[in-house]
Amino acid sequence: MKKNKLQILTNGIIKENPVLVLVLGTCPTLAISTQAINGIGMGACVIVVLTCSNIIISALKRIIPDTVRIPCYITVIATFVTIVQLVLKAYAPSLDKALGVYIPLIVVNCIILGRAEAFANKNSVIDSALDGIGMGLGYTLTATVMACIRELLGSGTLFGAPVTANLFSPFTILIMAPGGFFVFGCLIALVNRITKGKVKDKRANKCIGCPGAEFCSDVNKEGGCDNK
Amino acid sequence: MADKHTNLIVSSAPHVCNPADTATIMRDVVIALIPALAVAIYVFGFRALLMTAVCAAACVFFEWAVRKIMGRENTIGDWSAVVTGVILAFNLPVNMPIWMAVIGCFIAIVVVKQIFGGLGQNFANPAIVGRIALFIGFATPMTTWAVTEKMSQAIINNAGVDAVTGATPLAMLNAGAAELPSNLEMFLGTINGSMGEISACALLIGGIYLVVRKVISPAIPVSFIATVAVLAAVMGYDPIFQVCAGGVMLGAIFMATDYVTSPITTKGRIIFGIGCGIFTMLIRAFASYPEGVSFAILLMNILTPHIDSITRSKLNGVPKKGGAEK
């Protein structure tokens, strides 16, 4: 299944949005999307880490032995996460403080490992870089939209500037965990409506139970893939 | 010839019919809530009636609107939205802004009830979740209690001479107030708190009506209230005060007994009631909130499917283990 370059880039934005369609990286998204600025900051970190790790992993895919690929991926990802965190600490300490533990946790973020395993592992360096940027943009967009909704309704501000905060008391539950899940669910419903649930239908064959089924290119083949 | 035998038509079982349906049951619940509403209007004034009416109307409207949008059949005729609205209103302070109450109704009906599939499919009691969402989301208005002249002297004294707001008895106890309302005042309801929670007496009258009409089984309320009383005594509180204070009566009689979110068997219901009582007293005694009835009921709502599966009644003639299971 060959895709052109533009498709690879735009795939991550809605059609295979990593958070809302693949449902990867839910925990950091819910945790940081309390303020719009955090969504953008976290998104930028994810774009950098995802693109760089996709490039390196794609370039090394013939050297890395299959049996130890996950530790190798983690090492590559952890390297970039460390770089990003040190840069943040030096130049944007307030953002580093706001995102807290979720920056080092990008190492185990399912989106990055998932894309390494499902895409960079099988595709060329350029395609992998485009996929990293596209998926990263999808993540950024989702986290920012979620954060805007939650910040506006939950604290009455937008990017830290008061919007409705002085007009009526904000509904603070939205910036807590239950509100996060609620907004998350609403956005998933919205994306399902836009894509008419096409992505979900793919799972209706032999790949049921495989967490990668939703974005796996082998999913429509007879008998699925050989990753049992 | 044919019409002569119309009463001989053989239908499938069950053959014994009872005219009760959802609407008649829910109407009975509304009737049972009237005494508590009367006390609320007496203590807090006209605004209590207004709040209750607005909540009931908002719930019915949301039920109608969301069913319409989702393309499902209209169910406002079963009165369940009215019950949710009235019970939610009873859980709110009387001077809560109206628009906040309407948000609570939205959460109760749309988020908790209709998104999960409507009456019978909701995993938790809609009114409870509506109340908890408001309590967490609008903490200040949800814990600002107006003081009126009809209230007991202890409340008015604690609120101070010119104050218009005062604490509930449980908040007073939590803060270590010297003078608490007497148990008689607690029972009759001339105290401060959420609109429908204040009068244990009026809620009991409603509860007895429901039990007599066989709308609810006494298993949950009795085990809930008894557990609260026993634990209060063990922990060194006044049991009567603890039972009459806060939402125990309203919760035990009207919210914990919700058919959809409570166990089916009597044994399960007793476990459910005891669990509610334990969580309530644990939250009251050890957590930072003065009141824990709604959280207790929500927790037990979530455990209900598990309680149901461990208390499933055994069929006669079925081997004890294995065999007939599959």
State pLDDT tens for residues B89-144: 999 888 888 989 999 999 999 989 998 888 888 889 999 999 999 988 888 888 77
Identify the top-confidence range among A92-106, B228-242, B265-279: B265-279
- Tokens matching residue B187: 């029972």
CA distances from B286 to A46, B80, B156, B278, B280 (A): 42, 35, 27, 12, 10
Please, which residues bridge with residue A158 across strands? A161
Given a contact cutoff of 8 angstroms between Cβ atoms, the answer to whether B124 and B298 are in contact is yes
Give the residue carrying structure tokens 């009215």.
B82
Q: Give residue B96's pLDDT.
A: 86
Contact across the interface for A172 and B140, Cβ inside 8 Å: no
pLDDT in tens, B200-217: 889 999 999 999 988 888
Tell me the average pLDDT across A48-56. Answer: 93
* CA pair distance B262, B255, nearest whole angstrom: 9
Tell me the average pLDDT across A167-193. Answer: 86
The residue that leads in pLDDT, B33 or B325, is B33
Alpha-carbon A105 to chain mean position:
13
The residue that leads in pLDDT, A63 or A204, is A63
Nearest-5° angle of CA A187, CA A192, CA A194?
95
CA of B24 to nearest chain A CA: how many angstroms apart? Answer: 34
A226 in any annotated domain: no
A222 in any annotated domain: no
Question: Best interface-test mutation with B: which of A150, A153, A168, A169 has the largest number of B CBs within 10 A?
Answer: A169
**Contacting residues of A for B69, CB less than 8 Å apart:** none
**Contacting residues of B for A182, CB less than 8 Å apart:** 111
Given a contact cutoff of 8 angstroms between Cβ atoms, the answer to whether A157 and A148 are in contact is no
pLDDT in tens, B19-38: 778 888 898 999 999 999 99
A86 in any annotated domain: yes
With a pLDDT cut of 70, the percent of chain B lying above it is 89
Contact across the interface for A169 and B141, Cβ inside 8 Å: yes
Spatial CA neighbour of B187 closest among B250, B242, B244: B244
Q: Total structural domains in chain A?
A: 1
* Residue-level length of chain A: 228
Residue B70 contacts A where some CB pair is shorter than 8 Å: no
Secondary structure (3-state) at A24? coil
* CA pair distance A131, A58, nearest whole angstrom: 11
Residue B139 contacts A where some CB pair is shorter than 8 Å: yes
> Over A51-69, what HEC string results?
HHHHHHHHHCCCCCCHHHH
Helices (H), A60-117: 69-91, 93-99, 110-115
What's the pTM? 0.80
Domain extents for chain B?
Answer: 22-142, 178-306
Name the residue of chain B whose CA is nearest to A153's CA: B137
A152 in any annotated domain: yes
ipTM summary value: 0.73
pLDDT in tens, A2-43: 567 888 888 888 888 888 887 888 888 888 888 888 889 999
Contact across the interface for A171 and B139, Cβ inside 8 Å: no
CA of A90 to nearest chain B CA: how many angstroms apart? Answer: 36
* CA pair distance B291, A192, nearest whole angstrom: 40
Please, which residues bridge with residue A161 across strands? A158
**Contacting residues of A for B139, CB less than 8 Å apart:** 172
**Contacting residues of A for B111, CB less than 8 Å apart:** 182
pLDDT in tens, A189-221: 888 888 876 655 554 444 555 556 656 665 555
* CA pair distance B205, B211, nearest whole angstrom: 10
* CA pair distance A178, A150, nearest whole angstrom: 11
A161 in any annotated domain: yes
Among B181-190, B286-295, B303-312, name the one with the lowest average pLDDT.
B181-190
Structural domain harbouring A75: 8-215
CA of B137 to nearest chain A CA: how many angstroms apart? Answer: 4
Q: Give residue A207's pLDDT.
A: 54
Name the residue of chain A whose CA is nearest to B130's CA: A173
Answer whether residue B256 shows pLDDT above 80: yes
Q: Give residue B87's pLDDT.
A: 92
Nearest-5° angle of CA A220, CA A224, CA A226?
145
Out of A169, A178, A179, closest to residue B138 by CB = A169
